[in-house]
Chain A
Amino acid sequence: MSLPVILFFLCGALAVAGAILLIAAREPIHSALALILVMVALAVLYLLLGAPFVAAVQIIVYAGAIMVLFVFVIMLLNMGVEERTDFSQIAKYFGIPLGGVLIVWAAYWLLHSRPAAAIGTGSGMEASSTRGLSTLLFRQYLFPFEATSILILIAILGALVLARKEE
C-alpha cells in the first residue's frame, strides 16, 4: 500500500471514531473536541483528493472559527456533564432499522458506482488550484452556491427568532 492510501484509511477511521465519540461523550467539551477531530480528518481527506485550498478553508472556517465559538460558549456557560435520558421509543423502533437500510443502500451504491479518481494523484480534479476552484464555484455551480448561501441566511434568521425572548 502506498502512503496516500494508508493516510486515507487512517483519516477515514479517525473521522468515524470522532463522529461516534461526538455522540457518546458526556462532557460537552469532549464532544466539541471530537467534532474538531472530524473536521481536521476531513481536511486531510480533501488534501489527499488534491484540493489543498478546500482543505485549508475547511480548517480555517470550521476548526478555526466555528468550533472556537462552540468551545467559547461551552466555557462561558461552564456546562456540566450531560444528563442521559431514556432511549426514545421512536428511535428504537424506526431509527435503528432505518439506519441499517441507509448503510446497506450506501454500500450498494458505492460498490456499483464508477471508480473515482485515484487518491493522492488529484487527477481529474479542476479544484486543485485556487483559480480552478473559483471558476467552478462562481461559473459552473453558481446557482447551488447562491442557493446554499440563502439557505444559511434563512437559518441565521431562524436562530435569531428562536433565541429572541418572548415579550
Chain B
Amino acid sequence: MEFISQHPVLVASIIKIAVLLFIVMTALAYLTWMERKLIAHIQSRWGPYFVGAHGLLQPLADGIKFLFKEDVTPPGADKFAYLLAPFLALSLGMTAIALIPFGPPSVLIPFLNQQAFSVADVGIGLMMVFAITAMGVYGVALAGWSSNSKYPLMGGLRSSAQMISYEVSLTMSVVGVVLVAGSLNFNEIISNQSGYWHYVPFIPKWNFGPQIIGFLCYLTAAIAETNRVPFDLPEAETELVAGFHTEYSSFKFAMFFMAEYANMITVSCLATILFFGGWLSPFPDSWKWQLFLPGAGLVLLGIYCAWDTLTEMRGIARLQLSVVTLLCLGGGLLCLVPQVAQVIQGPFWFTTKILVILFFYIWLRATLPRFRYDQLMSFGWKLLLPVSLANLVLTAGYFAFKWTRHG
C-alpha cells in the first residue's frame, strides 16, 4: 500500500495500460468480425455464422488456428529483420493508442488521483502520434525486403513509396486544426470544439465544418496510410499474391493483420479528436436525458438478443446468446445508475464516433475498386498535397487577417 501511495503515476499507468491492452485486443478481434459481417451483408451474404451465434466466436477460432499453424521461415531470409518486422508493425500500432484521450481529463481514478481515460496526456500529443505512426513504414518495408522473395519485395517497395507520399498530405491536412485550436494537446483541441455556432445554434462547433477540406484530405490520406481499399496496392492480390506479408505464416501473419486493424483504430481516433469533437456530446449540456442513452441502448440490444435467443434453433448458439443477453441487460442497467452514467458519458460518445468512422472504412472496402499504381501516385502528389496545402494557406490567412484586425 505504501508503494502505491508513493508512486501513484506508475501504478495508475500500469493499470491503465493493462486495461487498454485488453480492450484494444478484444476490439481488434471483433473488428475483423464486424468487417466480415458488414461486407457480407452489403454483398447479400451471411458472413461467418456457424462458429457461435452469428459467428461471434469466429475471431477466437481464427486466433487458435493462427497459433497452431506451422511457422515457416523462408530459406535465405534475413532472420533478424524477418522477426523484427511483424513485431515493429504491431507494437507501434498499439503504442499510438496510448496517447488517445477516451474521455474528459476531469474524470480521475479513485485513490490515485490520475486521469482515468488517457494513459499519457502529453503536451504535444498530436506530434507524438505522428512520430509513432511515421515509424510504421519499417514494419512493411522490412517484411518485404527480408522475405527474400520477389512479390514481397515489390509489395514492400510499393507500400513504402505510398506511405511516404501520403504521410505528407496526412500531416499537412491536420495543421489547419492545430491553427484553429492553437495547441498540439488533444484535450485542448477537443475542449476548443465545445459549444455551438452563433448563427446555427443546433450544430456543434466541431472542426468538421470549418475544416471540411482538411477533413476530406485527412480521410483520404489516412485510408492510404493504413493500406486499405481503394489504396491497398501493397497487398494487391491479383498482382502480388499478398504483397509484403506473402511469406509470413502462422502468428507472424496474424501480427500484421492485427497491426492493420490497430492502425485503423488509431486513425479513426485521430479523426474523431481532430474533426468531430472527441468525447464531446453533440447535444447541449442542458439535455439531461442524454446521460441515459448508453444504458438505454444496451438494454434495447439486450432485448433484441433475448428475442434472438428464443428464435435460435441450435442449442449451443442459444446458450451463447443468452449469455450475451444477460451481459447486455446487466451492463445496460448498470449504466442507468446516474453516477456511472456520468462517468461513461465521454467514452460512450468517443466510441460511437469511432464506430461510425470504422463503418465508413468497411463500407468503402465493399464499394470501391482498387486504384492503379500510377493513378495512386499522381492522385497523392498532384491533387491531395496541393489541396491540403491550399487549406493550410486559407486557414493561416484567415487567422492572420483576424489577428491583425482584432489584435
Instruction: Tell me whether B289 is interfacial, beta carbon within 8 Å.
Output: no
Bitwise, A39-67 to B at CB < 8 A (1) or not (0) is 00001000000001101110110011100
- A53 to B167 alpha-carbon distance, docked (Å): 19
B130 touches A72 (CB 8 A): no
Return 20 A-B CB contacts under 8 Å, by A number: A29-B142, A30-B81, A52-B123, A52-B127, A52-B128, A53-B127, A56-B124, A56-B127, A56-B130, A57-B127, A59-B134, A63-B131, A64-B134, A64-B167, A65-B164, A68-B137, A68-B141, A75-B141, A76-B157, A130-B123
Nearest B residue to A55, CB-CB: B131
B130 touches A60 (CB 8 A): yes
Nearest A residue to B134, CB-CB: A64
- Chain A residues with Cβ under 8 A from B163's Cβ? 68
B123 touches A129 (CB 8 A): yes
A52 touches B141 (CB 8 A): no
Instruction: Tell me whether A24 is interfacial, beta carbon within 8 Å.
Output: no
Interchain CB contact (< 8 A) of B131 among A30, A33, A59: A59
Instruction: Tell me whether A36 is interfacial, beta carbon within 8 Å.
Output: yes
- Chain B residues with Cβ under 8 A from A88's Cβ? none
- A33 to B123 alpha-carbon distance, docked (Å): 29
Bitwise, B125-145 to A at CB < 8 A (1) or not (0) is 001101110110110011011
Instruction: Tell me whether B160 is interfacial, beta carbon within 8 Å.
Output: yes
B81 touches A75 (CB 8 A): no
- Chain A residues with Cβ under 8 A from B130's Cβ? 56, 60, 64
Instruction: Tell me whether B203 is interfacial, beta carbon within 8 Å.
Output: no
Q: How far is the CB of B133 from chain A (nearest CB, A)?
A: 8
Interchain CB contact (< 8 A) of A63 among B78, B134, B145, B184: B134
Q: How far is the CB of B385 from chain A (nearest CB, A)?
A: 15
- Chain B residues with Cβ under 8 A from A154's Cβ? none
Instruction: Tell me whether A71 is interfacial, beta carbon within 8 Å.
Output: yes
B128 touches A68 (CB 8 A): no
Instruction: Tell me whether B122 is interfacial, beta carbon within 8 Å.
Output: yes
Interchain CB contact (< 8 A) of B141 among A56, A59, A71: A71
Instruction: Tell me whether B156 is interfacial, beta carbon within 8 Å.
Output: yes
- Chain A residues with Cβ under 8 A from B157's Cβ? 72, 75-76
B127 touches A71 (CB 8 A): no
- Chain B residues with Cβ under 8 A from A17's Cβ? none
- Chain A residues with Cβ under 8 A from B270's Cβ? none
- Chain A residues with Cβ under 8 A from B144's Cβ? 75
Instruction: Tell me whether A78 is interfacial, beta carbon within 8 Å.
Output: yes
Known interface pairs A52-B122, A64-B167; A72-B161 also in contact (CB < 8 Å): yes
- Chain B residues with Cβ under 8 A from A68's Cβ? 137-138, 141, 160, 163-164
Interchain CB contact (< 8 A) of B145 among A29, A56, A59, A130: A29
Instruction: Tell me whether B153 is interfacial, beta carbon within 8 Å.
Output: yes
B156 touches A75 (CB 8 A): yes
Known interface pairs A72-B157, A75-B156, A129-B123; A27-B134 also in contact (CB < 8 Å): no
- Chain A residues with Cβ under 8 A from B131's Cβ? 43, 55-56, 59-60, 63-64
- Chain A residues with Cβ under 8 A from B164's Cβ? 65, 68-69, 72
- A154 to B280 alpha-carbon distance, docked (Å): 50
Interchain CB contact (< 8 A) of B135 among A30, A64, A78: A64
Interchain CB contact (< 8 A) of A53 among B81, B124, B132, B146: B124
Q: How far is the CB of B160 from chain A (nearest CB, A)?
A: 5
List which B111-130 residues lie within 8 A (CB) of chain A.
122-124, 127-128, 130
- Chain A residues with Cβ under 8 A from B141's Cβ? 68, 71-72, 75
- A68 to B141 alpha-carbon distance, docked (Å): 9
- Chain B residues with Cβ under 8 A from A29's Cβ? 78, 81, 142, 145-146
Nearest A residue to B146, CB-CB: A29
Bitwise, B162-201 to A at CB < 8 A (1) or not (0) is 0110010000000000000000100000000000000000
- Chain B residues with Cβ under 8 A from A72's Cβ? 141, 157, 160-161, 164
Q: 7 nearest interchain CB pairs?
A: A64-B134, A56-B127, A59-B131, A56-B131, A75-B145, A72-B160, A60-B131
- Chain A residues with Cβ under 8 A from B142's Cβ? 29, 33, 71
A75 touches B160 (CB 8 A): yes
- Chain B residues with Cβ under 8 A from A52's Cβ? 122-124, 127-128
Instruction: Tell me whether B80 is interfacial, beta carbon within 8 Å.
Output: yes
B127 touches A78 (CB 8 A): no
Q: How far is the CB of B159 from chain A (nearest CB, A)?
A: 10
- A36 to B78 alpha-carbon distance, docked (Å): 18
- A36 to B171 alpha-carbon distance, docked (Å): 21
- Chain A residues with Cβ under 8 A from B137's Cβ? 64, 68
Nearest A residue to B178, CB-CB: A130
Q: How far is the CB of B74 from chain A (nearest CB, A)?
A: 16
Nearest A residue to B130, CB-CB: A60
Q: How far is the CB of A56 from chain B (nearest CB, A)?
A: 4
Q: How far is the CB of B320 from chain A (nearest CB, A)?
A: 44
- Chain A residues with Cβ under 8 A from B81's Cβ? 29-30, 33
Q: How far is the CB of A95 from chain B (nearest CB, A)?
A: 30
Nearest A residue to B80, CB-CB: A30
Nearest A residue to B168, CB-CB: A65
Q: How far is the CB of A138 from chain B (nearest CB, A)?
A: 16
- A55 to B78 alpha-carbon distance, docked (Å): 31
- Chain A residues with Cβ under 8 A from B134's Cβ? 59-60, 63-65
